Amino acid sequence: MFGKCDFVSFELGKFLREILKPNANFIEIALSDKVLYSSKYHEDVKEIAYNCICKKLYHHWKGFVSHLKKLCEKESYNNPKTLLYILKAYYQGILCLDREEFKPDFSSFRCLDCYDEDIVSHLFECKVNKKPVDDSYKEKIKSYFYELDVLLDESYKNSNLIDEPSKTAKIKAIELYKKLYFGDVRE
C-alpha cells in the first residue's frame, strides 16, 4: 500500500501561480474530473481555478497554437498528436470564450458548430494506428485551422468573460498558500 503523499508547499505555490497567470493547462488540471489523489484543499483549488477563467486565457491558446503550428510545418502535418493538440486548444478556447465553460476533452466539444467530426475521427484513427496523417486531409486541416483561428479571434472579441482572473481568486490563492505553508499539510 502507498504511504502518505509527500507534499512540498512550494509545489502548490507554483501551481497556484500558473492558475493565476492564467495558464489553461493548469486550470484544466485543477478542474478535471480525473483525479488520482485529492485532499481537503482540492475544492479550494477548483474554486480558485474557476475564478481564473477569463478573456486573458485567449493569449494562452493563441500562443500555444502558434507554437504548435510551427512544429506542424516542420513535421509536414504528419503527426496526428500535434494536430489534435491544436484542435483541442482551438475548441477549448472557443467554447470557453463563447459559453464560459471550461471543458477538457473532445467529447465536450461536439456541441460547437465548428466541430469537425470527420477531421477529429481521422486524426484519432491515425494516432491510435500510429500512422501519419493522410495527404488528402492535410490541406483540409490547414484550411480548417485558418477558420478556427478566425473563430477564436471573434470569440475573444465578443466574450463576456472578465478580462483578468478575479481579485477573489488572487486573495483565496494567497490565503490557501499561507494556510498550507504555515500549517501541517500532512493531516
Query: pLDDT tens digits, residue range 33-84?
Result: 777 677 778 889 999 999 999 999 999 999 999 999 999 999 999 999 999 9
**Polymer length in residues for the chain:** 187
Q: How far apart are the first and last CA of the chain?
A: 18
Least confident interval from 19-23, 27-31, 34-38, 131-135: 34-38
According to the 3-state scheme, what is the secondary structure of 32-52? CCCCCCCCCCHHHHHHHHHCC
Measured CA to CA, the distance from residue 88 to residue 104 in angstroms comes to 8
pLDDT value at residue 42:
85
Measured CA to CA, the distance from residue 88 to residue 73 in angstroms comes to 18
What does pLDDT average to over the chain? Answer: 89
Q: Which residues contact 24 (CB under 8 A, 6 or more apart)?
A: 57, 60, 61, 64, 89, 92, 93
Helix orientation angle between 9-20 and 42-50, rounded to the nearest 10 degrees: 20
Q: Half-sphere exposure of 51 toward its Cβ, with a 13 Å CA cutoff?
A: 16
Q: Which residues contact 36 (CB under 8 A, 6 or more apart)?
A: none
Q: In terms of pLDDT, which residue wins out, 148 or 40?
A: 148
How much is the pTM? 0.87
